[in-house]
Chains A and B, each alone.
Chain A
Amino acid sequence: MSLLETFRIAWSSIMANRLRSALTTLGIVIGVAAVIILVAFGQGASNAVTASIQSLGTNLITVFPDFDPDRPTPAADLTVADVIALNDQRRAPDLLGAAPVTQSQRTCTHAGRSARTSITGTWPSYFAITNSPVASGAYFTNSDEVQARRVAVIGQVFAENLFGSASPLGERFVCDGTPFTVLGVLAEKGSGGFGNPDDVAIIPLSAMENHLTGYGPLTSISVQMASPDVQEAAERQITTILDEMHRVGPDSRDYGLFNQASLLETASQALGIFTALLGTVAAISLLVGGIGITNIMLVSVTERTREIGIRKAIGASRRTILLQFLVESTVLSLVGALIGLAVAVAVAQIKVAGISPTIVPASVIGALAISIGIGLFFGSYPANRAASLRPIEALRHE
């Protein structure tokens, strides 16, 4: 007897009990839809965080002083001399540039409004190094740096806090008694790293030191590498140069490197675990659906005992009956899986909490494969029971 005939017989049995088949299938529909949707949401969240971290610049390496209080010798300061050394293209071919960063929290005011923000004093190259384009206006220039002009490029949030909806370009705000003229407003980055990258004011390093913080050590150095692929070489070049500048070795190093790419890796790892957890919870509902199939197939075998007896009497072999019930349970769960897939695709169009779910092909293939497995596995016990029924007893069954 061909497999096609087995399919026909199984299908007509399923259709003969439409409501019950539909309800049995529902368990698988929910399970498959849950797996695909939850994994899609996990992936969507992961994509959102990744995009937001990438906007901070994955090519960015930050050098900061080692703050460990248990250091045997106090850490040397990061200085502009270090920055100049890192900008040496000959010694650091995999670096595109380095900029000094001095940061300070200040309260600034404009026309009766005030806002506390993070002020960054740096060089004009900082904008390229940190992947921070302006949405409107312009960057400050080397001449501004050289002249220590009191100019600023500000983030969207800071702009809104001080200027509301009015354009801040050309306006002045005052920090610690020093007025700064707004040259440009940065494109929005969205939060994702440390602090809010949109709540900032970026001014020339010379202006920062002259008017706000005085001359002192740098908070950090921002370094741009050519691409994330050369990260190891880039970090080696940075440590070679800085070890020499600070006269330290691998054991006594008084600075640390921080890379956005490692943050990205950590974040996507965490989100991966989160997604796997969601998927597992959903997979449990798939398991429950499978048990539902066993249950209904057992009922079906009992209910159709006589029918099985008739089939055996007129020549169905053990294998034929086994196959009929296996195909029946597998078709049930496969149909459920396909409907579940359709439901998942429909639900994945909905954006929830700013996250657009992204359907992961592996979760679709996995859910379909698992549901076929469920049909075979959870159908095998009832099918075996049906196949081993003795025809005389089955025929006597009422």
Chain B
Amino acid sequence: MTASGPGVPVLELRGVTKVYGSGEARVRALDGITLSVAAGDFLAVMGASGSGKSTLMNIIGALDAPTAGTYLLDGTDIAALSDDELSAVRNRKIGFIFQSFNLIPRTTALANVELPLIYRGVPRAQRRRRALSALADVGLADRIHHRPNELSGGQQQRVAIARALVTEPALLLADEPTGNLDSRSTEDVLSLLAAVHTQGRTIVLITHEDAVAARADRVITLLDGRIAGSRELPGRGFR
């Protein structure tokens, strides 16, 4: 893993453009996004639906390649990579948290959290130890053998956070992490993210809710594929 000290941006987008379709049906989902996130930053991306949030999230998450522009993730140029190399990059550098949790169904919390380590080739004993500790960190030490359908939404999202953190990624990428949760679980998840941030982890959070975005250090707002606004919220994350 590349060392990500202060000053070295964890992610850097320069003129990133994404175009879908062709001819009449051409849609410019992202239009020249330039953005830099330093190590330890907590960035919230806001915008109405159709503003390009999801496309940006896919590109930042190395799930999709930009049509034009460059994207450096932890110093690696993503555009040049093959599908399998992208898989490896996602595994090593990114922890995903999705709106719909996206746990593997019919599989225990422990197995879900172990999965990225399996794909990375971490030996069994070490894997188990790290997964158990990640589950303990999110307060689910007593739920490790529960399957997703036996867990509440908030608990499922905490399993997902444990799975995202177990690989110690350079970037934690959360896409509407509280979109499917009640207010209590929302608070749980957000304080968990804040705690993770306090430990120095870099977080990009995509949301359309002001209250959620308010937890970040910095908020950018997307409109029609462009950055329409950017504001700092000094010290909020360290409150």
List, in ascending order, chain A residues with CB within 8 A of B84's CB.
Answer: 317-319
With contacts A1-B121, A316-B119, A395-B98 taken as known, whether A310 is within 8 angstroms of B90 at the C-beta atoms is no
Complex CA–CA separation, A171 to B58 (angstroms): 104
Q: How far is the CA of A5 from the CA of B119 in the complex (A)?
A: 9
Verify B115–A311 contact, CB threshold 8 A: yes
Residue of A nearest to B90 (CB): A315
Give the shortest distance, in Å, between B200 (CB) and chain A (any CB): 22
B106 contacts chain A at the CB level, 8 A cutoff: yes
Contact (Cβ within 8 A) A310 B102: yes
Contact B87 A392 (CB under 8 A): no
Binary interface encoding of chain B residues 35-77 relative to chain A, with 1 for a CB under 8 A from any of its CBs, else 0 = 0000000000000000000000010010110000000000000
Tell me, yes or no, whether A391 is within 8 Å of chain B by CB: yes
**B104-A313 in contact (CB<8A):** no
Task: Tell me whether A312 is interfacial, beta carbon within 8 Å.
Answer: yes
Given the interface pairs A391-B63, A392-B64, the reply to whether A317 lies near B104 with Cβ below 8 Å is no
Inter-subunit contact B118/A1 (CB<8 Å): yes
User: In the complex, what distance in Å separates the CA atom of A9 from the CA atom of B96?
Assistant: 21
B120 at interface (Cβ–Cβ under 8 A)? yes
* A309 and B120 alpha carbons, distance in the complex (Å): 17
Using a Cβ cutoff of 8 Å, how many contacts connect chains A and B? 64
Q: Is A353 an interface residue (CB 8 A)?
A: no
Cα distance A311–B64 in the bound complex, in angstroms: 15
List residues of chain B with CB within 8 A of the CB of A12. 106-107, 111
Given contacts A313-B96, A317-B87, contact A306 B102 (CB under 8 A): yes
Most buried by A among B58, B102, B104: B104
A320: Cβ under 8 A from any B Cβ? yes
B59 closest partner in A (C-beta): A392
Nearest Cβ distance between residue A102 and chain B, in whole angstroms?
83
Size class of the contact patch on chain A: 20 to 34
Q: Is there an interface contact between A1 and B119, defined as CB atoms closer than 8 Å?
A: yes
Q: Please tell me if the beta carbons of A313 and B63 are within 8 angstroms of each other in the complex.
A: yes
Instruction: Indicate whether A317 sits within 8 Å of B90 (C-beta atoms), given known contacts A307-B105, A392-B58, A395-B63.
Output: no
B92 at the interface (CB under 8 A from A): yes
> Is there contact, CB below 8 Å, between B105 and A315?
no
Q: Residue of B at shortest CB range from A13? A: B106
Residues of B within 8 A of A16 (CB): 105-107
Residue of A nearest to B101 (CB): A310
Q: List 17 A-B contacts (CB under 8 A).
A: A1-B119, A12-B107, A12-B111, A16-B105, A16-B107, A307-B104, A307-B105, A311-B104, A314-B90, A315-B90, A315-B120, A315-B167, A316-B87, A317-B84, A320-B119, A392-B63, A395-B63
Chain A residues with CB under 8 Å of chain B are: 1-2, 5, 9, 12, 16, 306-307, 309-320, 391-392, 395
Q: Which residues in B have some Cβ–Cβ distance to A below 8 Å?
A: 58, 61, 63-64, 83-84, 87-88, 90-92, 96, 98, 102-107, 111, 115-116, 118-121, 163, 167
What are the nearest 9 A-B pairs in CB distance? A315-B91, A16-B106, A315-B119, A317-B84, A314-B116, A310-B102, A317-B87, A392-B63, A391-B63
